[in-house]
Amino acid sequence: MAKTVTVIPASVHKFTATPFDSTVKKRVAGYARVSTDLEEQVTSYEAQVDYYTKYIKDNPEWEFVSVYTDEGISATSTRHRDGFNRMITDALAGKIDMIITKSVSRFARNTVDTLTTVRKLKEKGIEVYFEKENIYTLDSKGELLITIMSSLAQEESRSISENVTWGQRKRFADGKVSMPYKQFLGYDKGEKKNDPPIINEEQAETVKLIYRLFLEGKTPGGIAKHLMSHGISSPAGKERWQSGTVYSILTNEKYTGDALLQKKYTVDFLTKKQKINEGEVPQYYVENSHPAIISHEVFDMVQQEIKRRKESPTRHSGVGLFGSRIICGDCGSAYGAKVWHSNDKYRKVIYQCNHKFQGKKCSTPKLEEEEIKAMFVKVLNQIIQCRDKIIADFEAGKELLFDTSCFEAEIEELRSEMAITAELIQKCVDENAHTAVNQDVYKKQYESLVSRFEKAKTRFHEINTLIDKREASHLQAEMFIRELQNQDKLITDFNEKLWFTLMDHITVCSSEDIRFTFKNGTEIKA
């Protein structure tokens, strides 16, 4: 008998599983986005919302769900687009059957994000219609067209990113400085567009206070507590200060009136990931770009103090007047503050070696706070009595004492040595790559050149460290001399300001041998 084949036609949609003759309305949502907050884009944004609302509601077979929106958001990644992410969540939860958007580039400029999202929706039978390209994602040609269009959109985004980067670097090269005024303490925007920033006097006093407190021995955390206790608002206008915010103010060269531009750069235009610029792209240092709040001298002193604290073998303490300023002559550790009889009339603060009861006991004595103050008054008066001689000796010997020219010739020689050796290393590697060379001979020559380079590099860093220390000592001595010039009378009581500005540290060797070292290097036995 002849075969009989009966065709049973498809009765439901392949992806949605709904019958062809179903009268159930398709739930449809629109998606609108503009990538900037510019006024003309706002008009476009509102027009998109109005258009899709009317477009969906006018179709009798569709049920309007909503128009999801993102205003002023870049499309290179879907990660931070709240409206988009909310729409996808609702769709996957079964609230939407179809999404309509203007074009692939409105949906996303990232090929991976576009395809991943479309496939995720497709698995649930949810269709996306790109109006400009006339692409239905449930159509058999949809995925191919989406891949092509998304790739083109991604390249367009790359081009835009490169143009923006070029524009930024051109502004940097022209010395144009911009500041995040809402988060930047001490400055307000100039009256006109291209005017330099102007100093906010009230905030500038806070900046100066932060620098002064740090030089007086406080830590960034201690400064933050001080500011909060005095009701001073943070750069963002909040009551709470973070130690990181204080640290960023202490290390920001813009407070000197200069600006270092392009401290960071964007590694990937899709993820917007940024990296600290360690020489990969050019930097621009603009001098006198705006009014200064902090002098270069004070700023340099703060940077040297930050470096000193980091390199110190003991942790810096900003607790108490003498925290981290008293050194044990036995073990080299810092003295710490202890409170005796804290809740009665016999309360007193004493300082003793932090390692006194750890392992081998130090023989150095404890010191009472009042005792230290009395000794300071005594030794400072000795300095004041010899004031004129100290100042004269400093002026006569400072050029020789703080001269760094003796290092400059060696620095240039080392720089030249490193450049020549690096060239020889490269030549050695190239020769080995292109000609037949005995590998034992090559290895020996290569290791010799690398050793030569590392030796020069190590010495180069040693010399730079010596120069930095000498310059730091010079700054400290200059500050000491200036303060001493203003102090023409003997003191009778402990002066906190003079302690912080004149004293470097105290070394306690024994009860009879306590040495006060001032910032100009003068040491007096109390």
Q: Residue written as tokens 């500041």?
A: 179
Report the range of poorest mean pLDDT among 78-87, 269-278, 335-344, 452-461.
269-278
Unique residue bearing structure tokens 């067209």: 145
80: confidence class by pLDDT, cuts 50, 70, 90: low
What's the mean pLDDT in 2-30? 69
> Is 253 within 8 Å of 299 (Cβ atoms)?
yes
pLDDT band, residue 7 (cuts 50/70/90): confident
Other C-beta atoms within 10 Å of 136: how many? 14
Tokens for 134? 């006339």
Percent of all residues in the chain with a pLDDT value above 90, rounded to a whole number: 19
User: What class, spelled out in words, does domain 181-311 have in CATH?
Assistant: alpha beta
- Residue 402's SS3 state is coil
Return the CATH fold of 26-161: Rossmann fold (3.40.50)
Tens of pLDDT, residues 421-442:
999 999 988 888 888 888 888 8
List, for residues 36-68, the tens digit of each pLDDT value.
Answer: 544 444 456 778 888 889 999 998 889 999 999
Are residues 502 and 382 in contact, defined by beta-carbon separation less than 8 angstroms? no
Length of the chain: 526
Residue 41 has a pLDDT of 47
> Is pLDDT of 273 > 60?
yes
pLDDT digits (tens, 9 = 90+) for 111-169: 667 777 888 888 888 998 988 888 888 876 776 776 676 666 666 666 666 666 665 66
| More confident of the two residues 310 and 423 | 423
Report the relative pairing of strands 523-525 and 513-518 from DSSP bridges: antiparallel
- Global model pTM greater than 0.75: no
3-state secondary structure 77-134: CCCCCHHHHHHHHHHHCCCCCEEEECCHHHHCCCHHHHHHHHHHHHHCCCEEEECCCC
Q: What's the pLDDT at 432?
A: 85
User: Over 195-260, what HEC string results?
Assistant: CCCEECHHHHHHHHHHHHHHHCCCCHHHHHHHHHHCCCCCCCCCCCCCHHHHHHHHCCHHHHCCEE
Residue 100 phi, psi dihedral angles, 5° rounding:
-115, 130
Ranges of each domain in the chain = 26-161, 181-311, 365-525
